[in-house]
Amino acid sequence: MPTPQVGVGVIILNQEGKLLLGKRCNTHAPFWALPGGKVELGESFEQTAMREVQEETGLTIEHVQVIGLTNNLQTYQHEGIHFVSAILTCDPVAQTPCLREPHRCEQWRWFEINQLPKPLFEASEHAISNWQAGQFYTRS
């Protein structure tokens, strides 16, 4: 019997306070999403966040902390993939992201918080909304 998978999404701000999002080009296309991915066996959420951000964007992040949780039921209903995701933040970064996995993401861009692109991936939309509201979790 299939079970939910565990993932992470990372809220990364640059020094101007802009949020980093990637435009998906395979799984979950055409959605914009936070950097992140699947937790591997034996990894903490923080280790997963640092690894996934490095693999996807080339960025090195520090002072990573869990701030929330999403249960992505719409994605399950539409794609048959059920993820529960830990949402993390880190200190602002001064580096420039690069496209390290072009088969998964066609671009990385910084966005003003009040001018986010559409459509947003469900987990990212809930994560950003909860982060802005100071909430750990919202029932979807």
**How many independent structural domains does the chain possess?**
1
Could you tell me the pLDDT band of residue 107, with boundaries at 50, 70 and 90? very high
Helix, strand or coil, per DSSP, at residue 33: strand
Which CATH number covers residue 75?
3.90.79.10
Q: Indicate the pTM of the whole model.
A: 0.95
In a domain, 140, yes or no: no
Check residue 139 and give its pLDDT: 81
Could you tell me the pLDDT band of residue 140, with boundaries at 50, 70 and 90? low
Let me know if 40 is exposed, middle or buried by CB neighbors in 10 A (0-12, 13-18, 19+). exposed
Retrieve residue 64's tokens: 């990573």
In a domain, 138, yes or no: no
In a domain, 139, yes or no: no
Distance from CA of residue 49 to its chain's centroid?
Answer: 9
Q: Which residue range forms the structural domain that includes residue 63?
A: 5-133
In a domain, 110, yes or no: yes
